[in-house]
Amino acid sequence: MDAEALARRLEAIPRVPLVNEPTPLEYLPRFSAAIGRPIYLKRDDHIGPAMGGNKARKLEYLLADALRWGHHRVVTYGGLQSNHARITAAAARRLGLEPHLFYFAPRPSRLTGNLLVNDLLGAHMHFLPFGGGTRPRSLAWTDFLVHLLAWVRVGRHYFIPVGGRSVLGGLGYVRAALELHRQAQAEGLENAWVVMAVGTGGMLAGLWAGFTLLRSPLRLLGIDIGALWKNFPTTVARLAERICARLGEPHRFSATEVPLIERTYAGPSYGVPSPEGNETLRRLARMEGILLDPIYTAKAFAGMLKQIEKGQLGKGEPVIFLHSGGLPALFAFEEQAQDSALGEPG
């Protein structure tokens, strides 16, 4: 499918405007010189309401669907520092919808980071201290459980799966794939690798579907930062198939072909910073004045650098890191930062 045909098919599906596009594609001159490899950032941390982030792309389609069906309440869930939950709350408020956010954890004694922003937005936060902490679980089972609990607590609502992970949400990252494909062509970066943090797999599935539909030469790699889900590659492959089918060009994807490094760079667990991620966060901040977040992008950026060191990302081709945002989480770990690489003087 050519770019113009894909653009027409995407425009035929209702969405609400939340993203100023295209987001910048920025070269990192000092960091590139330090590692001997051209490194770029795709600045999806610039988009969306309430400090922004990548989930705004998914919510353009999801919240358009909520409005289309006449819903007044929106329900979603995530970890305590979920960027998806924060942006959902902000986008819902912008559209006159009532946000309800579910967490499988006790209510913290102090609201920090994303939770503080949620409180300022007047989001209804439901803390349910059960569910086995962060051990792996089925995405479908957890979605079903939250949906059921929300009917009991909230009543009629529009349910958004964790991370906006759905066919409609994935369309937002097909749109991003088209955008990045065009930018890479314009900049002469057609042979680049595209690397991103992967939490629920919706962004990865959307980009994979988009690049496949476009026959794009861009090569994709997702780095798992949570080690959360059972049968994760299979769920990513099935979602990519459903996204392609929704756009009128079915494709088969194998779980063994999913461009994903699972678990290796997740650190102690989901929602907990890693020493390698914190050091990378500090390094990029001091070399380029750019901030990552300790939960998602810092872990993935550190993993990307390890893959470059191992020679797993080609031999000198450009690398584009998709910066998905998440900066409020920086302010949720002040105490840990005092004794970690994130807080060391230098």
Catalytic residues: 82
Is residue 217 within 8 A of residue 179, CB to CB? The reply is no
Single-letter amino acid, residue 108: P
3-state helix vs strand vs coil in the chain, percent to 5: 45, 15, 40
**What is the edge-to-edge ordering of all strands in the sheet holding 260-261?**
25-27, 39-43, 319-323, 193-198, 219-224, 260-261
Would you say 318 and 193 are in contact if contact means Cβ atoms under 8 Å apart?
A: yes
Q: Which residues of 210-240 are buried (b: 16+ CB within 10 A; e: fewer)?
A: bbbbbebebbbbbbbbbbbbeebbebbbebb
On whether the CB atoms of residues 327 and 47 are closer than 8 A, the answer is no
Whose tokens are 């004694």? That residue is 109
Query: Pairing between strand 39-43 and 25-27?
Result: antiparallel
Number of residues written out for the chain? 346
Dihedral (CA of 297, 198, 65, 101) sign: negative
> Which value, to the nearest 10 degrees, does the dihedral of the CA atoms of residues 37, 196, 131, 108 take?
80
Contact 303, 265 (CB under 8 A): yes
